[in-house]
């Protein structure tokens, strides 16, 4: 959540040490200087604006009581646009007060028109609950704000539908509850004046495409009742927010991006942990892959609670970012500096907090108590208590997952440590934005993990500080999203030709497919849903139904793993981590969708291997660049998890490889790929025996760098490389979206191909390692155990591509 007030409450203790001095002491600790770059982000004075003349006195007074003396200029501008009926997106920084921009027009309208209603959508229940508190605290008569989500008791639901005029919910509830029950909601929808979409940058990829159609279904129902609500969207700073918001809502949206809130200056350091001396904890090279086989890299996301960035399965070359962050946290806390450390995984946050506590206690017994961990999965009361303790200075250090990115009004810290690039510049700025209380100088440090993207970024500060934040990528035309969404819409009301325009590109084709499949029947009055049951469509579902993880002895449900990852993480014998506890899988029952596990902490980890096959279905677009070809198209990816390795945790030593008997799975998706002629490779000095390793290494690094171009995560993407592919008849590297129907990432890669592969080439070439490391060409999710890989030949491959590809 955002503070809606320019007068943000801040803790009442004195200024911390000057950030530059603090940084100087931190970087002087060890041998060598870990800091690769220091950027000064200047302070900015706020630009207040008068209250808009249309804002009623009652509302101004309510905000003034809450400490808002006057709006900032961007708040007043966005609010007035919305009040005058324009759809608007306000895309400004952390704590710039985006809430006021929609509360002002929405509440003014509710006060002026005793019938008008407002629907507020947040990506999480926690954020909706925070907003409910903020609106309720204004104590405006007749608004009766209420949350309506899965936790709302049945007994209260009818009251809310009838009487609340400010309903706060989430897209899932809109999809599963409100739209299917539109008859009961007709009174509310008929009077709907505003739809507020908070944190709209989180609606990206496949999830975002689903939400885009849920919003079109909402607009359709409103139109049936004669309502045409105004959409007000709030976004973190993002590239081209008007276009993204337009894709999301299907409406023309005006963007307000000029942040007029005040900000303290930030000293932003890029930090690369030192290389470890050779021999410390290195594992023998792995040699178990089959020569000549295509190298496939899976795209399934890791389960929540699984460490994603802390790859324990690779040779450690640099000091781990987790250890480095824990030390920095201990050092800043010892200096009395209020510090927040962002860590990507839940387990990582716990590890950082525990290590920092330990070193502080070693120095001064009891000092460790001033550091805590904070992550999603904690109870709300626990989180509130931690936030309170940090604001009041009882706690000085918090190690958190990005749970803090959403839903919490915690700003004004002296220092922010970011353990590993969070995947996008948008997230990076959002996290760094927590630093700096009421105009004071603050410190932000990005600690690089041992992977190609982080390494590239700490050596290319211009890619962070000189580049605009990413655009939010979503693709409502994805037919794997469009067809099921049209089925949902048809259940709500028969589809008409006008609806095909509303649902946009591909809607007619999708309807024809549904008719051919017997799901819809065409009648003179429209297309009708033919079945009794509603279609089952999960907005966030990916790769099949989730698999439940159940402890055999107690029958306790530990959690779920998405279907796409289940074969990798829950195969028989797999070591599965959940909230810091280690379990071993006894049985994976795919028919029932559950895995039975028992508590056990063996001294090995498990690593599944898969065999991937890819065939080209169609080519959408291509660039013919002489010996090089660049393509975008549809592909079928077939993968089968065939075995797993057990490796010693301490040394990485491979104990054995065990076969598995799991079925193959198919994914129809979108890929970008490039081909090179064998002659051009030979001319560039790549021996034919080294071609597989060259392509495989280029593929890994290209996947690692794609998040620089698109708002995706390395785990959203898969890849495959081969010295000769049956469909292309040439050496080929494929990079594909790991979601059925694609998610827009490969398309983005194709559109920015030369910039993307240039950054990839530079990342490999500039890495200081000899033969390849996790900072350049090794991948934490390689299906082939990072073998074969040839770092120097990967550079030659990319040089050939870049020399031929038009800019």
Q: Is 695 in the site for Zn ion (CB under 5 A)?
A: no
Give the integer Cα–Cα distance in Å for 734 and 671.
Answer: 7
Query: In the range 613-652, which residues lie near Zn ion by CB under 5 A?
Result: none
Closest CB to Zn ion among residues 490, 764 = 764
Count of residues that bind Zn ion according to CB under 5 A = 9
* Least separation in angstroms between CB 719 and Zn ion: 7
The residue behind tokens 């919910």 is: 169
* Least separation in angstroms between CB 607 and Zn ion: 12
Q: Is 722 in the site for Zn ion (CB under 5 A)?
A: no
Query: In the range 507-526, which residues lie near Zn ion by CB under 5 A?
Result: none
* Least separation in angstroms between CB 279 and Zn ion: 17
3-state SS string for 285-318: CCCCCCCCCCEEECCCCCCCCCCCCCCCCCCCCE
Give the integer Cα–Cα distance in Å for 335 and 328.
Answer: 11
Closest CB to Zn ion among residues 5, 760 = 760
Closest CB to Zn ion among residues 107, 767 = 767
Closest CB to Zn ion among residues 474, 703 = 703
Part in contact with Zn ion (CB under 5 A); list of ranges 36-44, 282-290, 567-575, 780-788: 780-788
Q: Is 769 in the site for Zn ion (CB under 5 A)?
A: yes
Closest CB to Zn ion among residues 471, 691 = 691
* Least separation in angstroms between CB 644 and Zn ion: 16
The residue behind tokens 């996790």 is: 774
Part in contact with Zn ion (CB under 5 A); list of ranges 130-138, 263-271, 290-298, 706-714: 290-298
* Least separation in angstroms between CB 657 and Zn ion: 16
Name which of 588, 591, 719 is nearest 660 in CA terms: 588
* Least separation in angstroms between CB 781 and Zn ion: 8
Give the integer Cα–Cα distance in Å for 704 and 698.
Answer: 10
CA atoms within 13 A of residue 737's CA, in its CB half-sphere: 31
Closest CB to Zn ion among residues 443, 706 = 706
Name which of 665, 609, 667, 663 is nearest 637 in CA terms: 667
Among 90, 495, 730, 782, binds Zn ion (CB under 5 A): 782
Closest CB to Zn ion among residues 293, 554 = 293
Q: Is 775 in the site for Zn ion (CB under 5 A)?
A: yes
Name which of 274, 332, 343, 359 is nearest 310 in CA terms: 343
CA atoms within 13 A of residue 17's CA, in its CB half-sphere: 16
* Least separation in angstroms between CB 786 and Zn ion: 6
Phi and psi dihedrals of 222, rounded to 5?
A: -60, -45
Part in contact with Zn ion (CB under 5 A); list of ranges 161-169, 174-182, 409-417, 783-791: 783-791
Helices 691-705, 791-804: inter-axial angle, 10-degree rounding: 70
Part in contact with Zn ion (CB under 5 A); list of ranges 303-311, 491-499, 702-710, 766-774: 766-774
Part in contact with Zn ion (CB under 5 A); list of ranges 49-57, 149-157, 197-205, 777-785: 777-785
Closest CB to Zn ion among residues 426, 776 = 776
* Least separation in angstroms between CB 669 and Zn ion: 18
Part in contact with Zn ion (CB under 5 A); list of ranges 156-164, 265-273, 487-495, 761-769: 761-769
Closest CB to Zn ion among residues 168, 782 = 782
Cβ contact 518:547 at 8 Å: no
Q: Is 272 in the site for Zn ion (CB under 5 A)?
A: no
Q: Is 448 in the site for Zn ion (CB under 5 A)?
A: no
Q: Is 595 exposed, middle or buried (0-12, 13-18, 19+ CB in 10 A)?
A: buried
Give the integer Cα–Cα distance in Å for 758 and 747.
Answer: 17
CB atoms within 10 A of CB 494: 17
x/- site string to Zn ion, residues 83 to 122, per CB under 5 A?
A: ----------------------------------------
Q: Which residues of 359-387 are buried (b: 16+ CB within 10 A; e: fewer)?
A: bbeeeeeebbebbbbbbbeeeeeebeebb
Give the integer Cα–Cα distance in Å for 541 and 739.
Answer: 10
Q: Which residues of 242-263 are buried (b: 16+ CB within 10 A; e: fewer)?
A: bebbbbbbbbebbbbbebbbbb
Q: What is the DSSP letter of 690?
A: G
Q: Is 286 in the site for Zn ion (CB under 5 A)?
A: no
Phi and psi dihedrals of 624, rounded to 5?
A: -95, 110
* Least separation in angstroms between CB 798 and Zn ion: 15
CB atoms within 10 A of CB 136: 14
The residue behind tokens 């919490």 is: 408
* Least separation in angstroms between CB 722 and Zn ion: 11
Q: Is 773 in the site for Zn ion (CB under 5 A)?
A: yes
Part in contact with Zn ion (CB under 5 A); list of ranges 112-120, 240-248, 291-299, 388-396: 291-299
**3-class state of residue 771 by DSSP:** coil
Query: In the range 532-551, which residues lie near Zn ion by CB under 5 A?
Result: none
CB atoms within 10 A of CB 145: 23
Part in contact with Zn ion (CB under 5 A); list of ranges 135-143, 170-178, 345-353, 765-773: 765-773
Among 776, 794, 801, 805, binds Zn ion (CB under 5 A): 776
Closest CB to Zn ion among residues 189, 767 = 767
3-state SS string for 775-800: CCCCCCCECCCCCCCCHHHHHHHHHH
Which residues, 6+ apart, have CB-to-CB distance to 550 below 8 Å?
556, 557, 558, 594, 595, 596, 597
* Least separation in angstroms between CB 317 and Zn ion: 7
310, 311, 316, 318 alpha-carbon torsion, rounded to 10°: -40
Closest CB to Zn ion among residues 300, 784 = 784
* Least separation in angstroms between CB 311 and Zn ion: 13
* Least separation in angstroms between CB 770 and Zn ion: 8
Q: Is 295 in the site for Zn ion (CB under 5 A)?
A: yes
Give the integer Cα–Cα distance in Å for 325 and 348.
Answer: 10
* Least separation in angstroms between CB 464 and Zn ion: 20
Give the integer Cα–Cα distance in Å for 650 and 272.
Answer: 24
Part in contact with Zn ion (CB under 5 A); list of ranges 43-51, 296-304, 342-350, 659-667: 296-304
Closest CB to Zn ion among residues 297, 747 = 297
Q: Is 767 in the site for Zn ion (CB under 5 A)?
A: yes
Residues that bind Zn ion (CB under 5 A): 295, 297, 767, 769, 773, 775-776, 782, 784
């Amino acid at each position: 959540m955002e503070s809606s007030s320019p007068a943000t409450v801040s803790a009442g203790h004195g200024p911390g040490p000057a950030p530059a001095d603090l940084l100087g002491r931190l970087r002087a600790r060890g041998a060598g200087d870990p800091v690769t770059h220091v950027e000064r982000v200047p302070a900015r004075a706020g630009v207040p604006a008068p209250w808009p003349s249309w804002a009623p006195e009652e509302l101004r007074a309510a905000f003034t009581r809450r400490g808002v003396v006057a709006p900032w200029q961007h708040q007043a501008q966005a609010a007035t646009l919305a009040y005058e009926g324009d759809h608007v997106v306000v895309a400004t920084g952390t704590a710039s007060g985006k809430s006021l921009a929609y509360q002002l027009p929405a509440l003014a309208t509710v006060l002026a028109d005793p019938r008008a209603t407002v629907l507020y959508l947040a990506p999480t229940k926690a954020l909706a609950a925070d907003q409910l508190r903020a609106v309720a605290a204004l104590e405006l008569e007749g608004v009766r704000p209420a949350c309506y989500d899965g936790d709302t008791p049945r007994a209260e639901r009818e009251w809310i539908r009838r009487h609340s005029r400010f309903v706060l919910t989430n897209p899932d509830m809109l999809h599963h509850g409100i739209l299917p029950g539109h008859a009961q909601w007709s009174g509310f929808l008929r009077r709907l004046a505003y739809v507020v979409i908070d944190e709209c940058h989180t609606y990206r990829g496949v999830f975002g495409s689903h939400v885009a159609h849920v919003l079109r279904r909402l607009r359709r129902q409103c139109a049936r009742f004669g309502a045409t609500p105004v959409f007000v969207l709030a976004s973190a700073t993002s590239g081209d927010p008007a276009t993204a918001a337009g894709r999301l809502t299907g409406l023309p949206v005006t963007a307000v991006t000029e942040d007029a809130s005040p900000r303290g200056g930030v000293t932003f350091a890029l930090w690369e942990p030192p290389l470890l001396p050779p021999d410390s904890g290195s594992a023998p090279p792995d040699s178990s892959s089959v020569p000549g086989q295509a190298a496939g890299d899976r795209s399934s996301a890791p389960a929540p609670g699984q460490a994603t960035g802390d790859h324990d399965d690779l040779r450690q070359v640099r000091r781990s970012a987790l250890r480095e962050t824990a030390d920095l946290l201990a050092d800043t806390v010892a200096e009395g500096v209020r510090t927040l450390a962002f860590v990507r995984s839940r387990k990582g946050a716990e590890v950082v907090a525990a290590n920092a506590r330990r070193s502080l206690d070693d120095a001064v017994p009891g000092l460790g108590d001033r550091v805590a961990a904070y992550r999603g999965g904690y109870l709300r009361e626990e989180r509130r208590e931690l936030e309170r303790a940090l604001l009041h200075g009882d706690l000085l250090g918090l190690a958190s997952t990005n749970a803090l990115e959403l839903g919490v009004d915690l700003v004004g810290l002296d220092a922010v440590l970011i353990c590993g690039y969070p995947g996008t510049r948008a997230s990076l700025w959002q996290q760094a934005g927590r630093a700096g209380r009421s105009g004071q100088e603050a410190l932000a440090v990005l600690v690089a993990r041992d992977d190609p993207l982080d390494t590239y970024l700490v050596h290319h500060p211009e890619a962070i500080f000189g580049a605009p934040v990413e655009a939010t990528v979503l693709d409502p035309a994805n037919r794997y999203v469009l067809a099921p969404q049209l089925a949902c819409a048809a259940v709500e009301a028969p589809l008409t030709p006008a609806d095909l325009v509303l649902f946009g590109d591909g809607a007619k084709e999708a309807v024809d497919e549904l008719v051919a499949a017997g799901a819809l029947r065409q009648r003179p009055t429209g297309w009708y849903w033919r079945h009794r049951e509603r279609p089952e469509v999960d907005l966030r579902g990916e790769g099949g139904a989730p698999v439940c993880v159940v402890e055999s002895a107690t029958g306790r449900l530990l959690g779920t793993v998405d279907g796409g990852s289940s074969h990798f993480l829950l195969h028989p014998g797999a070591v599965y981590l959940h909230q810091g506890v280690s379990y071993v899988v006894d049985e994976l029952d795919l028919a029932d969708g559950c895995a039975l596990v028992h508590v056990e902490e063996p001294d090995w980890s498990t690593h599944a291997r898969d065999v991937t096959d890819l065939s080209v279905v169609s080519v959408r677009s291509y660039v013919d660049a002489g010996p090089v070809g660049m393509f975008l198209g549809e592909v079928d990816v077939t993968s089968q998890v065939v075995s797993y390795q057990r490796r010693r945790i301490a040394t990485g030593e491979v104990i054995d490889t065990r076969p598995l008997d799991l079925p193959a799975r198919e994914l129809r998706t979108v890929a970008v790929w490039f081909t090179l002629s064998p002659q051009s490779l030979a001319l560039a000095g790549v021996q034919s025996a080294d071609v597989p390793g060259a392509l495989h290494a280029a593929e890994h690094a290209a996947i690692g760098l794609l998040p620089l171009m698109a708002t995706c995560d390395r785990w959203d993407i898969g890849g495959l490389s081969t010295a000769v592919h049956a469909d292309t008849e040439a050496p080929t590297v494929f990079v594909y979206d790991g979601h059925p129907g694609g998610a827009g990432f490969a398309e983005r890669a194709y559109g920015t191909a030369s910039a993307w592969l240039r950054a990839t080439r530079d990342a490999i070439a500039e890495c200081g390692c000899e033969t390849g490391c996790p900072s350049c060409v090794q991948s934490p999710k390689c299906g082939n155990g990072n073998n074969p890989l040839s770092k120097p030949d990967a550079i030659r491959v990319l040089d050939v591509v870049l020399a031929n590809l038009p800019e």
